[in-house]
């Protein structure tokens, strides 16, 4: 079967591999769609933590079942997966937090992922399609990341939520913050993405800190209060550090974006606010189910996100272009053939 391997930063190569087999508790899937996310792009450019080369990328997927020992699923049934394979035994797993398992293996990050025609996955990771299309199924995972971040923040009805970063994950955070009743403010230095927020997600308040004073604009929007929730979806060190000053007294700051370096902030400024700082890693089955339910209710329209579609054979030649903000890529979707 055909695979696409990231051998080193900026180096993708197609290769042939043997068809996978399955043991007890495992399912063989035929890959139908693969969504390209920030994790894949960062791995390609060599800035992804928890990563080693060579690696087959891809963890946002839609697939059909080839072989399974779980009688709840049928051959050729469409599914997606929770791509964070957990040990089930560590303290995090025992507390119902398999998304941050001590020995986690994230598909396409710690182990080879979906950029191949067939894969074997733990059967416990399967998620039924509930009637969603392949394109919709491949978007469930990235939207679940956003849903989990919003759940971590405990967004309440009527409070201001500043989402820093209007990439695919940030857009999902905005959607689910709105569903939770939050008043969403989008911040990004890319005007095209801010316009996307206004037109596609009906986000009324946007801020471009490159051309306007973020603190003053936020005071104006929030009647002087500042947002009680700030969620970072940039993974950019400067943006993460700067956002501490954008938080209301008593507020919560959630880091969804991931950065290799140390975070630095003023302890007195953080302390006087009695701020809460949280990380948000991956997502849980609860979040996946919330996303699928929201899609089925029409609260989230997945087609909004897909700006680029390519065939698997075209990925190598197109991948680098998806890194360029000028190309306006929100979500690139890969369609497998054969």
- In a structure prediction context, what are the per-residue pLDDT tens digits for the chain, which is 338 residues long? 999 999 999 999 999 999 999 999 999 999 999 999 888 998 999 887 778 899 999 999 999 999 999 999 999 999 999 999 999 999 999 999 999 999 999 999 999 999 999 999 999 999 999 999 999 999 999 999 999 999 999 999 999 999 999 999 999 999 999 999 999 999 999 999 999 999 999 999 999 999 999 999 999 999 999 999 999 999 899 999 999 999 999 999 999 998 888 999 999 999 999 999 999 999 999 999 999 999 999 999 888 899 999 999 999 999 999 998 888 889 999 999 75
- What pLDDT, on a 0 to 100 scale, did the predictor assign at position 338? 55
Sign of the four-CA dihedral 145, 80, 289, 196: positive
**Dist. CA 201–CA 253, nearest whole Å:** 22
Q: CA dihedral defined by 88, 91, 97, 102, rounded to 10 degrees?
A: -80
Which is nearest to 8 in space by CA: 39, 44, 41? 44
Residue 333 burial (C-beta neighbours within 10 Å; 0-12, 13-18, 19+): buried
- Length of the chain counted residue by residue: 338
Q: What contacts 331, CB < 8 A, 6 or more positions away?
A: 35, 36, 139, 142, 168, 305, 306, 307, 308
Domains along the chain? 2-139+305-335 (3.90.180.10), 146-279 (3.40.50.720)
pTM, rounded to two decimals: 0.94
- What pLDDT, on a 0 to 100 scale, did the predictor assign at position 189? 96
- What pLDDT, on a 0 to 100 scale, did the predictor assign at position 47? 80
| Location of structure tokens 């191949």 | 116
| Location of structure tokens 């491949």 | 138
Q: What contacts 226, CB < 8 A, 6 or more positions away?
A: 160, 218, 219, 246, 247, 248, 249, 251
Residue 110 gets the label, from left (phi > 0), alpha (psi -120 to 50) or beta, of: alpha
Packing angle of the helix pair 140-153, 285-296 (nearest 10 deg)? 110
Q: What contacts 34, CB < 8 A, 6 or more positions away?
A: 58, 60, 61, 114, 115, 138, 312, 333, 334, 336
- What pLDDT, on a 0 to 100 scale, did the predictor assign at position 148? 98
Which is nearest to 146 in space by CA: 267, 38, 268? 38
**Dist. CA 158–CA 152, nearest whole Å:** 17
Q: Could you tell me if 210 and 217 are in contact, meaning their C-beta atoms sit under 8 angstroms apart? A: no
């Amino acid at each position: 079967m055909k695979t696409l391997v990231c051998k080193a930063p900026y180096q993708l190569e197609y290769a042939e591999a043997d068809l996978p087999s399955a043991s007890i508790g495992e399912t063989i899937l035929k890959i139908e769609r693969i969504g390209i996310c920030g994790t894949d792009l960062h791995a390609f450019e060599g800035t992804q933590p928890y990563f080693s080369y060579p690696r087959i990328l891809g963890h946002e997927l839609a697939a059909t079942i080839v072989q399974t020992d779980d009688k709840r699923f049928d051959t050729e049934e469409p599914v997606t997966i929770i791509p964070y394979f957990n040990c089930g035994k560590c303290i995090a797993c025992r507390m119902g937090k398999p998304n941050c398992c001590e020995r986690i293996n994230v598909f396409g990050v710690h182990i080879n992922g979906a950029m191949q025609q067939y894969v074997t996955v733990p059967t416990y990771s399967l998620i039924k399609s509930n009637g969603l299309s392949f394109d919709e199924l491949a978007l469930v995972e990235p939207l679940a990341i956003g849903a989990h971040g919003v759940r971590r923040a405990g967004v309440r009805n009527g409070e201001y939520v500043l989402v820093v970063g209007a990439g695919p994950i940030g857009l999902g955070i905005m959607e689910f913050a709105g569903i939770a009743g939050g008043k969403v403010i989008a911040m990004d230095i890319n005007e095209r993405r801010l316009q996307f927020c206004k037109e596609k997600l009906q986000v009324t308040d946007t801020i471009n800190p490159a051309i306007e004073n973020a603190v003053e604009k936020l005071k104006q929007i929030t009647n002087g209060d500042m947002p009680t929730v700030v969620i970072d979806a940039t993974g950019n060190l400067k943006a993460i550090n700067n956002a501490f000053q954008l938080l209301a007294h008593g507020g919560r700051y959630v880091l969804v974006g991931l950065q290799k370096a140390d975070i630095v902030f003023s302890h007195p400024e953080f302390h006087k606010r009695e701020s809460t700082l949280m990380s948000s890693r991956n997502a849980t089955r609860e979040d996946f189910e919330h996303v699928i339910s929201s899609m089925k209710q029409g609260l989230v329209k997945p087609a909004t996100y897909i700006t680029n579609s390519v065939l698997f054979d075209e990925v190598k030649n197109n991948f680098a272009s998806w890194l360029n903000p000028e190309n306006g890529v929100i979500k690139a979707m890969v369609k497998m053939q054969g």
